[in-house]
Chain A
């Protein structure tokens, strides 16, 4: 069952936790390039709703994904308080719009519990496990699956 268990056999790892709405998520710190404030994005024609557009990241064109909308939750209304997590997904660099970065966690494999058996395949497709930290529940996200395949194939 657990991709997480297989994937995480290497012992302690560091994760970046962030908040979207009232939920907390985390991603592997190794895939995060930088964290920056929100700047208005240039909308892209014919883009999925969760693609807010592109911004200029020191000369590179960086697509911005509304993480909340991507997960099917309420679309974000970006403000200056929002942050963009610049992450490397395969060979591409993308920006994830989230409400706030909350924590840097060092966890061991045993802390990661397998994703609970829930009905929706959609949630299961990006969740790689859950963590219980100080009474909070943090969902470990697999970035590869946050970005749809057809998009990468088209590129």
Chain B
């Protein structure tokens, strides 16, 4: 494992910590004052800082440090986390995310913005908490007071980063240096996380002249000894020119796993009195020998302890429901084996854990994809096998058929389970939206509240990845166009704070995502006028409200009076609609004047399979995505009308719809087929128009596994992807939009077709 891999793991963890941070802050924003939430937020920032320190990401460290300082004020109840404070903190979380991304991918961040935020954070830490002004560091507890040991700590993996430079320059202790009395009592968690008291003490010894006494009073008799517990404590008296801060920084990564007291001894004598034994001059070799025995004893038990803990997984890691089995990060949940002092917190944690944590593993996406491909093969093979058995079966009800049916059920089940592996909650996308809402709200001077529901709804990862862009567009639109300014809202008797509600749910094998705002709704008069101005509709066209609402999905449509940075350049909703359709989805809008608009998107749960209509065109088998088909019909000769030289229309319930000869457009045949011999598929295409696609025959409906054509060939205009049918042959999946566009006389070019599948 080289450094880059470790770094990659760090960044992955950063993402999780950032998500944790944001959801924690949002909870606080909603009025949650649970100290555990504050702790979770604090821990997230602290972990990022710790890891960043280990990799020398100074920008990240310095920002995280200031952020942490302010959070510490909240944690110690010196700063009330009111809306104003949280606004700054949420923005800081955004900057922290930016800095993390910049550290990962290179690139730069808005330095002015982060500097500004650092100032604001420091102002919060200082302004409201005068006693912390002198020392902005998080551990700036007043001297002589015991550092508050956080009640709960399920701290994740922390690369242990010590800056040795600071210590190595340490001078030999002078006579008059202050002496610190340090009580260091590790808890078992310290060892469980791979920390070692020996190393900490050795680091401490670099600060100055040190004498050390091991307090073994807590050690019970052998038969009553719990092998997982930590019994030793060390009393250290340290003569150093360093400040208390430097001493504490030695324990920076262990501070939550031990009791640590650092106090300035008034004079030598008192220090001596306090110690039950005469301090022996510090000897490094002693450290290596004697305490090592106890440490090793505990080390041995750690492995066993892990097993126990994994069994006790339900109590473990309440805040993070992922137990990561990454090789470097022995991320042992540190919940059990807890001292009585934190029992209360632990029970609270396990309550949360009941809903959250089932153990999970992190798997390379490639491996899952390979598995999915193989299962796709299995399904195809199984279909081929059944087909050939049916063809060769003479007596109809052979036992082979029975077995095959069972095999079919099994393969279906395997396919479903494998697809479920790729399913991911939409939560990360939704969380990104909350940031976008904040930014747009800041830019437009509106006050917006984003409410998300059903963020644990699961959908295929590829769908999630492709969902972010259209959703961003829509959120921007909702805030920029949908919601009114606070003044207007007050005038309309509404809450000045607008609400945008983002909901996800499963409905009949699809995922439905709803975006609702409580703004002014669509101004139908304006939309209509605009559509007439842009020649989208005739001036005297009689349109229903719904039809007018759907006009906003037309290309080049924008009703914003002034074009803003955010939206209103006329590329917006049409792009949204196209990307949703490219995902095999549909989008609808409903709007009530004065009450807001609701956008409803319905998307397939996966992009790996598709429900298709298998048709024959010029002896070729093609698959038409079922989502595109509105209805199928058998044309009658009387319904076909020639129009011009080679256009034909079909009359359906007294409206005329252009006929599109698929075989001709795909160049499968040289002449136009006779529509009466075939079947017409009424499809709805991009731009809303209906077309009747003419095919020779319908074979049936089937779920097909999508295969990329681009991988080994090239994009083919008019074809979205390929699939493999039960007979083992490749069938092409039609790109309906491209076919329809081609029928309008535009040449079938790769750019204009939408490859639905990758």
Contact = CB atoms under 8 A, between A and B. Distances in A.
A154 B715 contact: yes
A42 B730 contact: yes
A60 B621 CA distance: 18
Contacts of A41: 730
Interface in A87-107: 92-94
What size tier do the contact residues of chain A reach? 20 to 34
Contacts of B722: 42, 54, 61
B724 interface: yes
Nearest to A43: B620
A45 B712 contact: no
Contacts of B667: 45-46
A151 B714 contact: yes
A43, A46, A61, A92: most-surrounded residue (chain B CB, <10 A): A61
B708 A47 contact: no
A59 B715 contact: no
Contact of A56 (B709, B718, B730): B730
B481 interface: no
Contacts of B728: 39, 56
Contact of A63 (B620, B621, B712): B712
Contacts of B374: 59
A59 B373 CA distance: 8
Contacts of B621: 42
B724 A45 contact: no
Nearest to A40: B729
B380 A59 contact: yes
B730 A54 contact: yes
B709 A61 contact: yes
A44 interface: yes
B714 A59 contact: no
Given A42-B620, A42-B730, A61 B707 contact: yes
Given A59-B376, A60-B707, A61-B730, A46 B715 contact: no
Contacts of B708: 61
A155 B668 contact: no
A42, A47, A154: most-surrounded residue (chain B CB, <10 A): A42
Given A59-B380, A94-B712, A42 B718 contact: no
Given A61-B707, A61-B709, A155-B710, A44 B732 contact: yes
A6 interface: no
A152 interface: yes
Interface string A49-83: 00001111011111100000000000000000000
Contacts of A93: 712
Nearest to B721: A61
Interface in B368-385: 373-374, 376-377, 380
B716 interface: yes
A92 B668 CA distance: 26
Contacts of A45: 666-668, 716-719, 732
Contact of A59 (B377, B620, B729): B377
B267 to A, nearest CB: 76
A60 B620 contact: no
Nearest to B617: A45
B164 interface: no
Contacts of A47: 716
Interface in B259-288: none
Nearest to B384: A56
Nearest to B732: A42
A45, A53, A59: most-surrounded residue (chain B CB, <10 A): A45
A61 B729 contact: no
B715 A155 contact: yes
A72 B376 CA distance: 38
B748 interface: yes
Contacts of A60: 707, 711-712
Contacts of A152: 714
A56 B666 contact: no
A43 to B, nearest CB: 7
A61 B668 contact: no
B708, B709, B729: most-surrounded residue (chain A CB, <10 A): B729
8 tightest A-B CB contacts, nearest first: A45-B666, A155-B714, A63-B713, A42-B730, A59-B377, A61-B722, A154-B714, A92-B712
Interface of A: 39-47, 53-56, 58-63, 92-94, 151-152, 154-155
Interface of B: 373-374, 376-377, 380, 620-621, 666-668, 707-719, 722, 724, 728-732, 748, 750
28 contacts: A42-B731, A44-B713, A44-B719, A45-B717, A45-B718, A45-B719, A45-B732, A46-B666, A46-B667, A46-B716, A46-B718, A54-B713, A56-B724, A56-B730, A59-B373, A59-B374, A59-B376, A59-B707, A60-B711, A60-B712, A61-B707, A61-B709, A61-B711, A61-B730, A63-B712, A151-B714, A152-B714, A154-B715
